Structure 1
Amino acid sequence: MFVVDFENLKKVVINPVILDQHQPKTKVPSKRSKLLEGCLSLPNYYSPIRRGNYIKIKYLDIDGKEVIEDFHNFNAQVIQHEIDHLNGVLFVDHVLKQNSPLYKFSGDDWEEVDL
């Protein structure tokens, strides 16, 4: 189970099952993409993780009602990140697998760090 807050709309997602998802098509994030993924499990560390821009999941809501829902772009990335947590995968696992740079933010400074 996890809770997400999309544009002030909170969702409780219980036992999500991925029904469909798009995989990233390139080996590196697009130059247009400035999004660095981070995680509260590892505060102040960020990386440009490649994730698909679409995911469809089936889950139970807070009332136990089955919901099938599509998520796109940033929301899809958040859902994939949270499902990873449920499966014991952290974003640094993707950093290693994708050979992505990892940055630490401290004060006003960004520093690339090695894993």
Structure 2
Amino acid sequence: MGLRFSEICIDADDVEALARWWSEALGWPAETDEDGDVLLRTNAGPDWLFLAVPEGKAVKNRIHFDFTPDDQDAEVRRLLALGARRVDIGQGDQSWVVLADPEGNEFCVLSGRD
């Protein structure tokens, strides 16, 4: 018996808008199921499933995503133009940039790797 990591579930106030934002940010196709949940499918790991919840985000994430771009500055500019915002979670001056999606979920854009 074993486990397969198949989905990451992301709570959202506006499922369609948040899934659309991440679909644009990551370039992954989105599909809405019969329950109104939205799934982003990827070949690079587990799918992302966006689920509607009645409450908004209240505290810093207990888990977050790290992304390694080819060009950190360009990617940060692109994500900010899409609607991300810079956030300070006490990280200080680091090589990574902490951003938040439109619903306030933090994620990091790491410095590019050779």
Structure with the bigger percentage of strand: 1
* TM-score under structure 2 length normalisation: 0.23
